[in-house]
Structure formats: structure tokens, C-alpha cells
Structure 1
Amino acid sequence: MAQTQTLREVSSVNQRTRNKNQIGQTFGATLKDESALQPKDDNNKVTAQSDIWRKCDVFRRFCRLHSVTGTVTGVVSVSLLPLTSFGDLSPEFFVGMLKAVLPFVFLNIYVGTLNQLTDLDIDKKNKPHYVLASGEYSMGQGKAITAAIGIMGLGTGIIFGSPPLLYGTIIHFLVGTAYSVKLPYLRWKTKPFLAALGIGLHAFNFQLAVFCHIQKYVLGRPLVHPKSFYFVLIFFMLFATVLGVFKDIPDVAGDQAFGIQTYSVRHGKKKVFFICILVLLINYGFAVVTGAVLSSLLLSKLVTVVGHCSLASLLWRRAKSVNLDDDSAVESLYMFLWKLFTAEYVLIQFIR
């Protein structure tokens, strides 16, 4: 009996040990499964987030959203020109300024994306990193985005009910379309004079539309343009025209291959480069004289004279160091010109 009882106790102990081992194995397996699954969940989240950021980055590069900064700065700066006192900074003014920002931002993006659609083969040679040229977007996706943004630009110009904005957005749309689209008598970018004229007209139209919108339909004042505003029109029109010519300098190889007779193709990089820099320096000289004559306060005279002399000096120093055989260096200078263009929107506030 004692031996039988001992055997039963040993058997019971062994059973409890087996049960503990099974529980331990099951618990351990569960922990392993959880630890194996958890990184997968994290990886899925990281992958999803990365995919969203990638899509946002592709959209940003296709729409070239960095160029929107100049448009917004321009609208804000020109909107401030009609103001005569701090009392004009009312909620109605800021709403009116926002109404000017939206259509021109949309149309600025539209013109850029349309140009990529019509220049796909050229960009594959000149700018293979562009979204369409690299295949990150299909032509169908590019067309859909371009059409949607163009409609939003025209739509906001119509909905806001300001005649200057309406006419300004229509002209902006038509000139931007004529610049790129491949139709008879259009595709102005292949005709150097029309290309430069179209870009200069863009600047003239933009400044005039925004100023008239704020002056007449936001502040409710007669359309009287101060002398300083004529300076703004002339300066930016000349600067924009130079930008339109200069941008073709690093694209000579691709333009030659596709028979696009830009000024750089016809006359050579060096000559066009020299003329562009010379015109900009003359433009800055014009700004120095205008600021010294038209600015009523001594501080304003000093800011405009010193400011424009400083920008002209920076331009000259950068231009002297550029190797025209290095397309990336010329492209870098082109982007610097856009920074100078944007900086002018600050200085024009002192010419009053």
C-alpha cells in the first residue's frame, strides 16, 4: 500500500510538471508570436507613412510648389502698394488679398505642369529628374492634375466677382497655354520673341490685375496709379523677360536636338548670358535712380539705393564665377535670379 501510494504521488508530480511545461511552452510561443508580429505591424505603419510622404513629395515636385512662394510674395507686396495708412489693414483687405492669391497660385502651377506635359521628350534629355520624365507620374495622371488645377484657377477668378482678377486670370491662362501647347500659331516657347514677350506680359498682367483689384474693389478708391507703380510694372516686366530668356541657357543641348530655336541656340550661351546680366544691371540702375527721385523720406531713399546696389553687386559676383559649360551651375544662377526677383517685392515698398 505504501509503495502504491508513493507511485501515485510520483505520477502526480510528473503530471504537474508536464502541465507546467506545456503552459510555459504555450506562453513562450505566444510571446514569440507577439514579438514576431509586432515589428510587422510597425513596419506596415512605417511603410504606409513613407508611401504617403513619397506621394506628397512627387506631387510637390510635379507642381513645383517652390515657385508658389514668389507668387504669394508678389500678391502680398503689390496689394500693399495702394495702402495709405494702417487703417486700411482691415479684415476686408486681407480677404481681398486672399482672393487675389488663390487664382494666381493655381494658374502658376497650371502653367508649370502644362509645360512639363508638352515638353516630356525634351525633359527626358534636359531634366530627367522631373516627375513625368522619370516616370513617377504617368501622362494620364499629369493631365488630370493639370486640368483640375487650371479649372480651379479660372473658377476662383470667376467666382470672386472682381473684374481685374477675372481679366487677369483669363489672360494668365491664355498666355500660359499659348506658351506651351502644341497647336498652330501657338507653342510660343519655340519662337524666342514671343516666348520672352509672353513671360514679360505675365508679369505686367499680374501686377496690374492685383493692384486694380485692391485699389478699386477692396478699398473702393478710384483707379489712380502712383508714379511708383509704373516703376513696378517696368522693373518686373524687364526682369521677368530676362528670366524667360535666361532659363533656356542650360537647355541648349535638348533644344537643339528637338529643333527649338531659342535665343541661346541661335546666338550661343555666352552672348545671351552677357545680355541678360547686362539688362538686369541696367534694371537695377533704373531702380536706384527711381528710388532716389521718387521716395519722399530720406530713410526710403537710403533703403532703395543701398538695397538695389547690394542686389546688383551680388548678381555681378555670382555671374562672374559661373562656368557656362556647367549646366548645373547656370541652373543654380537661374534659381538665384528668382530669389533676387522675390527680394524686389520687399524693396518696392520703400518707393513711395
Structure 2
Amino acid sequence: MEISISNSNSFGGPSNIIARPCMAYFRGNNRLSLIPIISPTTKNIFKSSNFPSKCSSTKDLIKPVRINGQSRFSISLSYNQHNPSPIQDCSQAQYSASSDSALAKTSRFGSACYKFLRPYAVQQAIISAICLFARVLVENPQFFKWPLMFKTFPGLVTIILAHAYYIGLNQIYDADIDRVNKPYLPIPTGELSDRQAWFLVIFYLLSGLLIMWLMNADLITLSLYCLGLFFGTFYSAPPFRFKRYSLATSIFLPLTTGAIHNVGILYATRASIGLPFWWSPPIVFITTFVTLFFVVISITKDLTDVEGDMKHNIQTFAAIFGLRKIAFFCTGILLVNYMGAIAAAIYLPQVFKRYLMLPAHSIFPLWLLFQVRKLDKENYSKEACANFFQFLWKLLNLEYLLFPFI
């Protein structure tokens, strides 16, 4: 038996056929048989527009050629002889698919990590840290130097890592509750596994402590940082799990993200430029204002979570007293807060700038009342409660942005 296959382009046109069928002839008993040899993946090959439907003559299809002085038959099919082989095409396609798959997985994991951070909370930590640092420099402009700016950058990273740790740990222990209250978070959706979430949380914790060690943080700064980590841990984690109790939540959350956060940043900033810490009126004002504000945030965060909290026996103020009463109660606390800011501007003109304090702290509460009225009109729907909660974070950020200039 003899087989001869030719890959000349006898039909005169390029083709995009990837897997190429061929014809072979078998000589035996003075008979010639032509048998198509076609790959299983080429079942639709003859439907290609580049394959000729008709041949003008058998001469166009079967050509006699001479090899080693003997006559042989060659079958010419229409494909571009410069095209790569089917095996090469397949390997290239597999490599491209695997590259796309790896890129897509990396992109999805990055997106899940971003959502795991709860960006609005981390954004608030960044804004507050920068504004508190800026206030110290406004009070002491002679210490403004660019090397100091670069030196404080690792400190900002540790603050971000600490908040990422609090937030991530809370999501791990609240995974079952979030499947009801916040099904869009990465753990309930399956974008992050429990193992991946734990890896991220431990990474945040160890990285923050490592940076503090590399910065040679003094004992007080390190103690305040670890105290914040302690309260942040047992807010979510057993055996204490303070978040199960509304009163404990309204104490420990403001203490961690309000008082300890502010004092720690202000102390570390002053220590970095060689100044002792002291309770100046602006520091007393911002610490008091923000701590009360976080009391409100610690209560209103449960407005959207009543269903899941009641299902898992977490007795929040919102679940006990109802959404409307809690919304009005928290609004009252903030109105008292703003009245205190106005009083401070009036009675301490030598400390605060009235032309900024009075207008700002008159506009903010009016805006708050408008949002509460809107929430009431929308009958405290889950979406309306979520929007109101996000609005409170905006008000808090505005207060921090105002602080360096008052």
C-alpha cells in the first residue's frame, strides 16, 4: 500500500480551514481506491465558503506527480500552505484561553478583595487620618517639610490595614447574617471563600504590626494601635462578640473608630515632629464630635439589617424599638452635636473661626433634616435606610475636611 498526500494550493485561493482533511489512495489488486481521511473535529469542513463546491474537471482535483521516477497520485485541497498546522493552531488557542482565564480569575479576585474592604469605611479612615495630620501642621507650619510627608505614608498604610482587619473580621463572623442582610458581599456571593477571607484578614493584621515595628513606633503609639485591634477583634469575634448587644456596640465601636483613632493619629503626628501631646480645644472638639457621631453610626448601621439580626437573635436597637424611632433618636443626637459646634464657635472666637464654623454647622443639620424627612416618606425601605446610612458617612467626612481650617 502506498499513500501520497500533497498540500499544494491547487484551487488558487486562500482558506481559513484549520483542521485539513486529506485523501489517500490504496493500490491493491490492480484497483485504485480513494478514501477521505478527516479529523473528528472537521465535520463541518466542507461547508466552508473557501472550499470549492464544484470542480471544473478531475484534473483540478487529482494530479499525477512523479516521485523517484514512479507515477503517484496527489490530492490537492484548498487551504493556504502558509497556515500553521492544526496542532499548532490548537496549542495557540489553548494558550490564549488559559491566559484569558488566568486574567479573568485575577480580575475577579481583585474585585472581590475591593468589596471585602467596604470602600466607604476605608475611605473615611483615610480622610480622617489626612485631615487630623493636616490640622497639626496648620497649627505648627514651621514643621512642614517634604521628608515628613514621606515618613508619614507608612503610618497611613497601617491605619488602612487596621480598618481593613476590623471590617474583614466582621464579615467572616457575620457571613450567615449577611446572606440575609447583605447578600451582595463577597463571602455570601462565593467570590471569596472562608479560607481566602481568613488569609486576607491575617495578612492585614500582621502587615500593620510589621510596619509599626519597622517604623520604630514608640510604646504609646503601639499601645493605642494594639488597643484598637483588641476592641475591633472582640467586637465581632467570640467569646465576647460585643456586636450582639446594642449597648456594647454603641460604646466599643465609637471608642475604637472615634476616640482611639483620633487620639492615636494626633499623638503619633505630634510625636513625629517632636511635640508633646496636649488636649487643645480643637482636639477636644473633634474627638467629642466624632465619638458622638460614631454612636449614631453604630446604631443606624442596623437599620438595613433588622431581618437578619432578628433571625440570628441579635438584639439591636432598631430591632427592639423600630426603624422610625431609632432614625429620629439618632437625628436628635446629631442635632445636639451640631448645636454644640455652633456654641463652641460663639463662645470661643479666639480658638475657632466663626465665619467657617457657623455657616457649616448650620447647613449640615438642615441637610440632615431633609434626608430624615425623605427617609420617612419612603417608609424606611431597605434601600432608603441604606442611602441614609451612606449620607451619614458623607456628613462625617465633611466634618473632617472642615477640621484643618476651623
Match of 1:118 in 2: 173
Quick one: which of 360, 367, 372 aligns to 1:307? 360
> Aligned in 2, Cα 1:226/1:19: closer, same or farther, shift over 3 Å?
farther
- Tell me, yes or no, if the aligned pair for 1:153 and 1:169 is still in contact at 8 Å: no
More strand by share: 2
User: Structure 2 stretches of 5 or more lacking a match?
Assistant: 1-58, 66-71
- Tell me, yes or no, if the aligned pair for 1:269 and 1:324 is still in contact at 8 Å: no
- Tell me, yes or no, if the aligned pair for 1:65 and 1:109 is still in contact at 8 Å: no
Q: CA deviation at 1:44?
A: 5.0
Quick one: which of 139, 163, 180 aligns to 2:236? 180
SS of the aligned residue for 1:125 comes to: helix
**Is residue 205 of structure 2 the alignment partner of residue 144 of structure 1?**
no
Counterpart of 2:361, as a letter, is: H
Match of 1:317 in 2: 370
> Aligned in 2, Cα 1:31/1:258: closer, same or farther, shift over 3 Å?
same
Counterpart of 1:267, as a letter, is: F
> Aligned in 2, Cα 1:138/1:40: closer, same or farther, shift over 3 Å?
closer
Quick one: which of 270, 276, 284 aligns to 1:230? 284
> Aligned in 2, Cα 1:28/1:93: closer, same or farther, shift over 3 Å?
closer
Comparing 19-28 and 45-54, the one that deviates more: 19-28
Match of 1:74 in 2: 128
> Aligned in 2, Cα 1:285/1:276: closer, same or farther, shift over 3 Å?
same
Counterpart of 2:363, as a letter, is: S
- Tell me, yes or no, if the aligned pair for 1:107 and 1:173 is still in contact at 8 Å: yes
Q: CA deviation at 1:244?
A: 0.5
Which gives a bigger RCO, structure 1 or 2 (Cα 8 Å, sep 6+)? 1
Q: Mapping of 1:89-168 within 5 angstroms?
A: 89-160=144-215, 161-168=217-224
User: Structure 1 stretches of 5 or more lacking a match?
Assistant: 1-9
Counterpart of 2:107, as a letter, is: W
Distance in 2 of aligned mates of 1:224 and 1:21: 95
> Aligned in 2, Cα 1:15/1:50: closer, same or farther, shift over 3 Å?
same
Q: Deviations over 1:43-86 (max 9, x none)?
A: 55444333221110011111224422211111111112222343
Distance in 1 of aligned mates of 2:107 and 2:166: 25
* Number of positions where the alignment pairs a residue of Structure 1 with one of Structure 2: 335
Q: Deviations over 1:214-260 (max 9, x none)?
A: 11x21112323321110011000000111001101111111111111
**Is residue 241 of structure 2 the alignment partner of residue 171 of structure 1?**
no
Choose 1 or 2 for highest CA Rg: 2
Match of 2:344 in 1: 290
Q: Deviations over 1:164-187 (max 9, x none)?
A: 42122111111011111121xx11
Match of 1:260 in 2: 314
Distance in 2 of aligned mates of 1:294 and 1:228: 10
Q: CA deviation at 1:312?
A: 1.8
Match of 1:193 in 2: 247
Distance in 1 of aligned mates of 2:234 and 2:92: 56
C-alpha root-mean-square deviation of aligned residues, in Å? 2.9
Match of 1:4 in 2: none
**Sequence identity (%):** 22
- Tell me, yes or no, if the aligned pair for 1:250 and 1:327 is still in contact at 8 Å: yes
- Tell me, yes or no, if the aligned pair for 1:324 and 1:330 is still in contact at 8 Å: no
Match of 2:107 in 1: 53
Q: CA deviation at 1:341?
A: 0.8
Distance in 2 of aligned mates of 1:65 and 1:213: 25
Distance in 2 of aligned mates of 1:45 and 1:345: 45
- Provide the TM-score with structure 2 as the length reference: 0.75
Q: Deviations over 1:73-128 (max 9, x none)?
A: 11111112222343321134324432431222111011111111111111111111
Counterpart of 2:331, as a letter, is: I
> Aligned in 2, Cα 1:293/1:164: closer, same or farther, shift over 3 Å?
farther
Comparing 77-86 and 114-123, the one that deviates more: 77-86
Distance in 2 of aligned mates of 1:15 and 1:295: 107
